[in-house]
Amino acid sequence: MARPPRYDETQLLDAAVRLAAAAGPTAVTMTAVAKEVGAPSGSVYHRFPQRPALLAELWLRTVERFQAGWLAALAAPGDPVAAAAAAARHVVAWSRLNPREAAVLLYGPDDYGRADWPAGAAERAARGTAQVRAALAGLTGRLGGADPEAVTLALVDLPLAVVRRHLRAGAPLPPGAERLAGLAATRLLAPGADTGA
């Protein structure tokens, strides 16, 4: 009977997360990942034939884990403003619970070499982007045709700004940051909110 692999994909990707969180995407090399887990380089190449495949899976696994809760919050039935506030809070809460993964997402897919990703990974990324766009459009519709820019500001830009400022400074997210993100979304998107139109 064949022995199970000593270093599985999860261990290797977790090592890649640590490297990217500490020093950015350029720190994630096949050799560095192998060294991080104490594995021979062949163990990494067995799972990921080339560095672009490793970088693609690092980005996709991380962003999909984040988006699962964010999309679920947006899809909650009932009051769309409450759903928006929950999604904004999720950005901060997930980042607080997963600071290394959040640090990975401070960069974009282009920083992880998207142009060189395998076709399957590129298609997976495109599906994820389409899901996010559809969710934002769906919420905009549920809000009675709210300004799409206000929706994006409330659900993406402002919560990410809170996270980015603290993580880039190497500081923990402050108490109450979730509440502030939710409050900002509520004030921007509540019926009658003045968005400067």
Residue 46 makes CB contacts below 8 A (sequence gap 6+) with: 5
**How many whole angstroms separate alpha carbon 172 and alpha carbon 196?**
33
Residue 61 makes CB contacts below 8 A (sequence gap 6+) with: 13
Is 30 within 8 Å of 113 (Cβ atoms)?
no
Give the pLDDT confidence of 101-142 residue by residue, as tens digits. 999 999 999 999 999 999 999 999 999 999 999 999 999 999
Is the model's pTM score more than 0.85?
yes
Task: Give the pLDDT score at 194.
Answer: 60
Q: Is the dihedral of CA 16, 17, 18, 21 positive or negative?
A: positive
Number of structural domains in the chain = 1
**How many whole angstroms separate alpha carbon 50 and alpha carbon 54?**
7
Residue 104 counted as domain residue: yes
Residue 171 counted as domain residue: yes
Residue 91 counted as domain residue: yes
Give the pLDDT confidence of 141-163 residue by residue, as tens digits. 999 978 999 999 999 999 999 99
Residue 118 counted as domain residue: yes
Residue 174 makes CB contacts below 8 A (sequence gap 6+) with: 166
What residue numbers bound the domain in which 56 lies?
Answer: 9-189
Residue 4 counted as domain residue: no
Residue 21 counted as domain residue: yes
| CATH number of residue 180's parent domain | 1.10.357.10
Q: What are the distances in angstroms from CA 125 to CA 117, 128, 142?
A: 10, 5, 26
Residue 3 counted as domain residue: no
Q: Between the CA atoms of 89, 147, 143 and 65, what dihedral angle is there, to the nearest 10 degrees? A: -40
Residue 15 counted as domain residue: yes
Task: Give the pLDDT score at 1.
Answer: 46
